[in-house]
Amino acid sequence: MGGLVVDEHHRGAGIGKQIMSECEKWAWMNGFNKIRVRSSGKREAAHRFYVAIGYEEKKWQKVFDKLL
């Protein structure tokens, strides 16, 4: 999965949880034992969502750019 975004007008309706549940089922049935999710450091609501559905934060990372 390249990304998960639920339209702001539909958040809280269980759509994201349903999508993640189906992804987890697919992964398990296809021999995977882990799913890793990456989320921008600024997306605090998304972080709370992932924790609420059982994901655990593993590391914090920053990205640095320099315009040339």
**pTM for the predicted model, two decimal places:** 0.81
Listed by start position, the domains of the chain span 15-52
With the C-alpha atoms ordered 61, 1, 19, 3, is the resulting torsion angle positive or negative?
A: positive
Return the closest-CA partner of residue 4 out of 22, 31, 25, 27. 22
| pLDDT tens sequence for the chain (68 residues) | 677 889 989 999 999 999 999 999 999 999 999 999 888 888 999 999 999 999 999 988 888 999 89
